[in-house]
Amino acid sequence: MTGSGHACIGAFVGALSGSPGKALAVGVVSHAICDIIPHSEAPRALDLVLAGAALGGIAAGFGARSAEFWGAAGGVLPDVEHGLVVAGLMKEQHCVFPTHSGALPHGRNGGFLWQAVAAATALTLATLLRLRRTH
């Protein structure tokens, strides 16, 4: 899944978890689940930039100490190893996250549409949860 999709879905599961620490953990778990579902990949360098932009937007909208932000961070965290590969600091075959190492299946060729719909829905739900809690 695209990193920005992982960030948005991580924000939602983080919102459901209720605390930054739990949010980080459930965000990482959401990454594995979303990686298993068949999806297409954006070019890695573009993907990393968009993931950073999504994290920045979520931090600006929900706050950097929020469960939403930490869920998003957990959602993106496993792809840090892809960033290290792009930067030439690590070899692809040394990736350790289960859906990157081959320990769990990594879905392919599933397109981008469901990812965009899932990301938009997740961010909308996270926003609605926040509004409901603050009003």
Task: Enumerate binding residues for Zn ion (CB under 5 A).
Answer: 35
Pick between residue 33 and residue 117 the one whose CB is nearest to Zn ion.
33
The conformation of residue 77, written as its DSSP 8-state character, comes to G
Shortest reach from residue 27's CB to Zn ion, in Å: 12
Pick between residue 35 and residue 68 the one whose CB is nearest to Zn ion.
35
Please identify the residue of the shown chain whose CB is closest to the bound Zn ion.
Answer: 35
Contact 3, 51 (CB under 8 A): yes
Shortest reach from residue 71's CB to Zn ion, in Å: 16
**Dist. CA 15–CA 134, nearest whole Å:** 13
**Dist. CA 38–CA 107, nearest whole Å:** 4
Shortest reach from residue 8's CB to Zn ion, in Å: 14
